[in-house]
Structure 1
């Protein structure tokens, strides 16, 4: 039978960790950082600081093929938009529609026929949504 080893603790003492920034003091005077870092991503605004409302046309398609008869809303033909922003838009759409969805092959897929809700979100984001297909 094994015994549990008792842990010895010292009251009033904290474990001493090496100071990671201690070596920086020996370097002397270091240059100052930037004064105003500002926003790191300015993709949603135009050059004058106004919201960009001309981000291009996107197609909204309702599809049922290969899905067991269930409808899926697909948003495709994004231009000049990265994967992270597509995932952000998909998250907003999922939350507003109350359904699941994903980003596959550069397209946003939302479960169910939610074309009107998706159109409203894309219009707010500055896109020009167009219904196409069935």
Structure 2
């Protein structure tokens, strides 16, 4: 008897939620206007800035956390911008396009 069968015996009325499979769109709000992905140097160090999201701040924070974990880099969320340490414009744009966002590259 596996774990699912044991749980069914304990909770017969429970309906398990289906987890989203890889490649499916997320639950984030998708917008019509493109988000801007730009590159800057601050104090001599490269950073990538993503801005222009018009949805809720909590969704944008979730997106920031997901990007940071997928890229294994540091970063922050300030002033309605996601700041990622390093020049990861190409990878970030690819990840956002997979999620269904329109992305516009600015600078360089």
TM-score of the alignment, normalized to the shorter chain, above 0.5:
yes
Q: Considering only aligned residues, what root-mean-square deviation do their CA atoms show, in Å? A: 2.1
Number of residue equivalences: 83
TM-score, with length taken from structure 1: 0.55
Query: Partner of 1:127: helix, strand, or coil?
Result: coil
Q: Which has the higher contact order (CA 8 A, sep 6+)?
A: 2
- The structure carrying a bigger strand percent of its residues is 2
Q: Select the residue among 82, 87, 105 that pairs with 1:108.
A: 82
1:119 aligns with 2:93: yes
**Off by >6 Å, runs of 4+ in structure 1:** none
**Which residue does 2:6 correspond to in 1?**
none
Consecutive unaligned residues in structure 2, runs of 5 or more: 1-25
Encode CA deviations 1:46-88: one digit per residue, 9 max, x unaligned: xxxxxx6x64301100010xx2210000001112x11111111
Check whether the contact 1:55–1:126 (CA below 8 A) recurs between aligned residues: no
